Amino acid sequence: MFNVKQKIARFFTQQKEFIKLLVVAIACVPLFAMADWDQTVLDQTRKIRIGMYAAGGSAALISLLWCGIKWLLARANGDHSTTFKDYLEQIWVIIAVGGALVLAAGAWQIFGTGSFD
């Protein structure tokens, strides 16, 4: 019984060593050993960061337009349910959210890519 356990353990140890050797061999094959694989990742993160700016800016414009339309309709109807103060509050919300977006993208650029450019 003990001999069988040793053979099984030896077999799996050999398999582990073979898999490690296979991974190293595949990593050394020129097709898989790409020197600039990180540039692809950095390009994609730049695109995501630009997409964050675009989505945030679009959402800010849409919300500001929506608040402005509500304000104009409230003035036209005479009920004053939306006032200039509400419009200014919306602007402050956009500034706060936009500032958080800029800080997040800046932190991502500094800590995520390791460069300041």
Average pLDDT over residues 111-115: 65
Give the Cα separation of 92 and 86 in Å (integer): 10
- Its pTM stands at 0.55
Q: What is the CA radius of gyration of the chain?
A: 29
Write the pLDDT tens digit of every residue in 39-63: 777 788 888 888 888 888 899 899 9
Q: By mean pLDDT, which of 32-36, 86-90, 95-99 is the weakest?
A: 32-36
Q: What is the mean pLDDT of the chain?
A: 80
List the chain domain ranges.
1-33, 36-117
pLDDT in tens, 20-35: 877 877 777 766 666 6
